[in-house]
Structure formats: C-alpha cells, structure tokens
Amino acid sequence: MIHFPPGPQAPSFVQFWQWTYRPVEFMDTCALRFGDWFTVRLPGNRKFVLTSDPSAIKDVFSANPDHLSAAEFNKILKPMIGGKSLIVIDGADHSRVRTHAAQPFYSERMHSYGAVMKGMTTRAIQRWASGPPFALHPEMQHLTLDIMMNAMFGSNAETRLAILREKLTEILLLTSSPARLFIFGNNGDLPLPKIQRALGGFSPWGKVLKLLEHVDRILYDEIQARRQKPAEYNDILSMLIRSHEDREKSFDKKEIRDQIMTLLIAGHEITAGALAWIFCRLISHPDVLESLLGEVKAKSDCDGIDLRQIEHLSYLEAVIYETLRLNPVIPVVGRYLKKPMRLGGYDLPAGAYVVPCIYLIHRRKDIWPDPERFNPGRFIGRRWSPWEFFPFGGGADRCLGTAFAIYEMKIIIAQILHCVKLDCAPGYAVKAVRRGITLVPSEGMPVIVKNVKKADF
C-alpha cells in the first residue's frame, strides 16, 4: 500500500517558492506541524519525503545502492559538472571513480597544500583595509577557488588559467539563483523548452553553455599536457591521471574533466559558505572567539599559524563542526527510490525521493540538548554517529573532499584570526539565503576590519 507522510497542501509551485526563497522558515514550519516526516510536492509531480528520523536515515545511508540512487537526486548539477561526475553516477562506476578520485586526498598528500593555503590567505588579508564594510562571503569564494585551482593545476599554471577562473566565476554567478538552477537542471522533467533554449548564446542558458564550452577547451588542453609529460607535474590533476592510467581501466578525458569541475565548483562553494557562517558565529559569540584566539595564539609564530600544529587545533575543529551543525551549507541530501521501500512505517513507492534533512536533524532536542545554542564544547571528546551529524552527506556518497575542506578551513580561519579582527557591519541582521544549492549568509555577510597586524605581512 502506497503511503506518503502528510505534508503541506499548498500548490506545488507555492511549495517550490517557499522551499527556494524561504527554506529555513519552510523546514521549521513543516517540522513543527508534521514532525519527523513530511512530504513536499514540487513541480513535475516530484514528491520529496523529508525526514529527521535518525533510525530511518541510518537505513537510507546503509541501503543497497541498487535500491536508492543519490545520482538521480543530484542530477540538477549535471548540466554544469557533467554526466560522469562522481556525484551523478551510481553502482560499479561510482565505486571505480571514487577509488581513483580519492588518491589526491590522502592525508600525507593533503598536508602538502598547507603552505599554499596559508600564503594565499595572507595575500587575501593584505587586500582588506580598515574602513567601509565589505562582503566576506565573496572574499571566501575567491580565496577557496584560488586554493583549489592551485591544488588542481599547480602554481605554475596560475597565469595561464586566469581565464578559467574568470569563466567559472561567471558560471557560478549565472547559476546562483536557485530557481534558475532548478530550470537548467530539470533534464526534461518540466515543460520548459523556451527557457532552456540557447538563443544563440543570448539567453541565460545560452550564456552558460558558451562559458562551459570555453571552460572545456581549457580543461582538455590541460589534461592533454599532463598526459604528454606526466612526470613534470605533481598536482591533483596529474595524480588523477596517473592513478587512472596505472589501473586496468583508465579514465577517459570526459571523466577526468567532470571530476575537475566537481571539485572546482562544488568543492570551493561549500567551503566558502562554511567559512562565512563560521565568522558570523564567532563575531556574535565573543566568549567563543576569545577561547579560540587563545588556542590559535598558542599554536602560532610571527608569521601566523604554525602548520605543524594544525592537527592540534581541537577547539577550532569543534567551532567548525558546531557551526556546520547549526548552519549546514547543504541543508539536505537525497536518494531516489528505484524500488518500493518501507521506511519509518511508510511504504514508499519507486519514483519517490527520500530526503534526510541535515538542517532538522542537527536541531533535534533528543540528540542535541539546548539545540539552538552555539556550543562548540559538544564536539570536544565526543564523536557523533554519521546519521546524527552529517554536514558533508552520508553513506557511500559522503563528500570525498571532507578532510581537505576541514584542513583548509582550519588554516584560513587561524590565519585570519592571527592577522585581523573582524566585526559585523553596523545594522546587519543575518539571514540564511539560497545561492544555488547552498545556504549562505544574506548580503554576502558584510564585515568591517577593526585592525590589521601590518607587521605580520
């Protein structure tokens, strides 16, 4: 017997508007009214069953991938990142690609990026000055994209790939509207052919296609250069190529291109959003900031954070995790049911979407005492289960770059705290707003620089 959980009865386009433009209020209202399970109806006869039931989430994350598909849920990103990206494929292909793509993120290799992360952060801070407010989130976007591009292509490619950085930034700007991203990524599920027409490159979609064509030419040239002289490079792209070609079945250039796009676009956007939220929380909690400053100072020298001490910044790690608990950059993850499945007492049909809600489960009172309070101490000396706390997703589809992102955030935060004091712009009231598939602080998180330690530069 098919049985969907109850949910709001507003027309699907109204629910889509609420989910898109008032996501936090929409989730809070639905949870208050319906509890741990509710069904959201979106255009195209899509039914999304959101849940914050930890036992059901455990079942979802451990289910047979032949029954549940993360790729089908993530297909909204396919037009940008490509059809062979790790996050839009399932089954044996997913396992093969994940094995190859994991190579550059092993801990010993990851730590080699530390000096680059610190140096780029210092250079970014030098551009800031005491005076008028500036938006912190765009600064974090520029910084994290520069770091990822350096790690991906190496420092020698910085000038040559300036155009790539410019085109990627334009693509992200054109797809920052969640409604537009939904339309671009509907893959024919909705009757919107006029909106998706290229119109000679003059429509928004046409502009995205032209930018992607330009990006592809640059990326394929880089892939070809690495394959001709693989020993001359020691960056993520070269390691991807070597890892693949050392194995029985190597990647074709399209597969490599799609993994690059996934790391460049999804990777840096999520990290930038998390960094903006972290500084938002620190500024509004001076007691936490003071404790964190003490830890950073103890692990720093005259040039800033001591990279050898990054693994020992336990309170900073707790601050990161507590921020991601309260402000997950991605509020949900999802699976598409390939076969009927019983979850939480509901018999759900094939074709439904089961959506573990990160935002809501991170606020369950029975898991997190006083859940709305910002308390990094929750993460000192305790590990939470992967179905209670999963800001980077769960199961076999957990984000491949999680360790890289945490390591990067530690360095960036510690170096900024060592060099400057930030405060919110006068009169600013933060609100979570959508940027593409992410939730970020409104207005770019405007801040002012209180002081800059010039001597440290």
For residue range 305-320, what is the model confidence (pLDDT) as tens digits? 999 999 999 999 999 9
Question: What is the model's pLDDT at position 295?
Answer: 97
pLDDT for the residue numbered 1: 55
pLDDT of residue 112: 84
* The two structure tokens encoding residue 274: 């998390």
- DSSP designation for 408: H
Q: Which of 193-197, 302-306, 331-335, 360-364 shows the lowest mean pLDDT across its residues?
A: 193-197
- The pLDDT of residue 216 is above 90: yes
Phi-psi region of 199 (alpha: psi -120 to 50; beta: other; left: phi over 0): left
> Which residues, including other chains, have CB under 8 Å from residue 35's CB and lie 6 or more apart?
none
| Domain-located, residue 186 | yes
* Burial call 275-307: b when 16+ CB within 10 Å, e when fewer: bbbbbbbbbebeebbebbbebbeebbeeebbbb
In a domain, 31, yes or no: yes
What is the Cα–Cα distance from 388 to 52, expressed in whole angstroms?
9
Q: Do strands 46-51 and 353-356 pair parallel, antiparallel, or not at all (unpaired)?
A: parallel
Distance (Å, rounded) from C-alpha 216 to C-alpha 223?
Answer: 10
Pick the more confident residue, 196 or 398: 398
Separation of alpha carbons 26 and 19, rounded Å: 6
Assess if residue 5 is contained within a domain: no
- pLDDT of 352 > 90? The answer is yes
Q: Dmax over Cα atoms in the chain, in whole Å?
A: 70
- Which percentage of the chain shows pLDDT scores above 70? 89
Strand partners, 135: 446
Q: Do residues 31 and 52 lie in contact, with contact meaning Cβ atoms separated by under 8 Å?
A: yes
- For range 59-64, the mean pLDDT: 91
58 assigned to some structural domain: yes
pLDDT digits (tens, 9 = 90+) for 417-446: 999 999 999 999 999 999 988 999 999 999
Q: Which residue has the tokens 């009927």?
A: 340
Q: How confident is the model at residue 159 (pLDDT cuts 50, 70, 90)?
A: confident
Residue 192 has what pLDDT?
45
**What mean pLDDT is predicted for residues 18-24?**
94
pLDDT given for residue 188 in this prediction: 47
CA end-to-end distance (rounded Å), the chain: 67
> Is the pLDDT at 48 greater than 90, yes or no?
yes
**How far is residue 334's CA from residue 338's CA, in Å, rounded to a whole number?**
13
Q: How far is CA 123 from the centre of its chain?
A: 24
Is pLDDT above 60 for 198? Answer: no
* pLDDT at site 247: 53
Measured at the CA of 307, the angle between CA 304 and CA 310, to 5 degrees, comes to: 105
DSSP string, 182-229: HHHT-TTSSS-HHHH--GGGTSHHHHHHHHHHHHHHHHHHHHHHHHHS
Better-scored residue on pLDDT, 282 or 301: 282
- In the structure encoding, which two tokens stand for residue 195, read together? 């909106």
- The answer on pLDDT for 373 being more than 90 is yes
Local structure of residue 262 (DSSP, 8 states): I
The confidence score (pLDDT) of residue 325 equals 98
Tokens encoding 9? 């009865």
Give the integer Cα–Cα distance in Å for 428 and 411: 27
Query: In the predicted model, what is the mean pLDDT of the chain?
Result: 88
**Residue 194, pLDDT above cutoff 50:** no
Asked if residues 355 and 332 have their Cβ atoms less than 8 Å apart, the reply is: yes
pTM here is: 0.93
- Alpha-helical regions (H) of 229-267: 236-245, 253-261
Query: What is the average pLDDT across 339-352?
Result: 92
Q: What is the pLDDT of residue 457?
A: 38
Q: What is the pLDDT of residue 365?
A: 96
Average pLDDT rounded to a whole number, residues 100-111: 76
Which CATH number is 138's domain given? 1.10.630.10
pLDDT at 21: 92
Q: Do residues 212 and 200 touch, judged by C-beta distance below 8 A?
A: no
Cβ atoms of residues 280 and 273 within 8 Å: no
Contact of 355 with 74, CB cutoff 8 Å: no
Q: Which two tokens stand for residue 84?
A: 């062979």
160 three-class SS: coil
Residue 130 amino acid letter: S
d(CA 408, CA 131): 28
φ, ψ (nearest 5 deg) of residue 439:
-110, 125
Does the pLDDT at position 191 exceed 60? no
Sign of CA dihedral 188, 189, 192, 195: negative
Average pLDDT over residues 14-40: 96
Range of the structural domain that residue 192 is part of: 12-456
Report whether pLDDT(453) > 80: no
Return d(Cα 457, Cα 440) in angstroms, integer: 30
Helical ranges in 74-175 per DSSP H: 78-81, 91-101, 107-110, 114-127, 136-153, 162-174
3 in a structural domain: no
* Domain membership flag for residue 333: yes
pLDDT digits (tens, 9 = 90+) for 64-77: 888 899 999 998 88
Q: If you search the block for the tokens 């790939």, which residue do you land on?
A: 161
**103 lies in some domain:** yes
Structure confidence at residue 231 (pLDDT): 65
For Cα atoms 29, 34, 35, give the angle at the middle one, nearest 5 degrees: 95
- Domain presence at residue 82: yes
Mean pLDDT, residues 339-357: 94
Which residues, including other chains, have CB under 8 Å from residue 386's CB and lie 6 or more apart? Answer: 61, 394, 398
Tally of domains in the chain: 1
